[in-house]
Amino acid sequence: MTSLEKNIIFDNIQGDHRLVITKDKYNLIVCLRNKMMKEKKMDEDGVMTLTGNMIPTTLEVMLTMDNKEYYTRVQGLLTGLYNKKIKLPFKKIDLAHMQRYVDQAYNDVLEVAHSLSDITTKLITRNED
């Protein structure tokens, strides 16, 4: 188990995406990917091929991909996450659904903010004891 796996703050599936927030010594790290990925198999020659089958995205894959974003402040994380969540559905959108997408992005980020608030409060209380 890597240090990023040990320090997971938030791990949740929101719609079609899986959101993992973890931390290292200096940063909060956000990984946002599709909740499903194509299965890979290795043939007898050691060549990896995609099977076409869809399987759940594993935590290991989430944390080893290059799609991580690093933040030093919670405010920056929440702003960056909101901007990213807003842009996700715009790949295939019609105007009738725009308000629903904006509201969903806001609610998803609000859920993360509440979770981070609870964790931060516990850490501050623990340090004051």
Question: What are the tens digits of pLDDT across the range 15-54?
Answer: 888 888 888 888 999 888 888 877 777 777 777 676 777 7
Domain with 59, as residue range(s), is 3-128
Query: Are 23 and 68 in contact, with CB atoms under 8 Å apart?
Result: no
Question: What are the tens digits of pLDDT across the range 61-80?
Answer: 777 777 788 999 988 999 99
pTM: 0.64
Instruction: Classify 52 in phi/psi space as left (phi over 0), alpha (psi -120 to 50) or beta.
Output: left
Q: Tally the domains of the chain.
A: 1
Number of helices (H) and strands (E) in the chain: give both, helices first. Answer: 4, 6
How far is residue 120 from each of residues 4, 56, 89, 106, 108, measured CA to CA in Å?
18, 30, 30, 21, 18
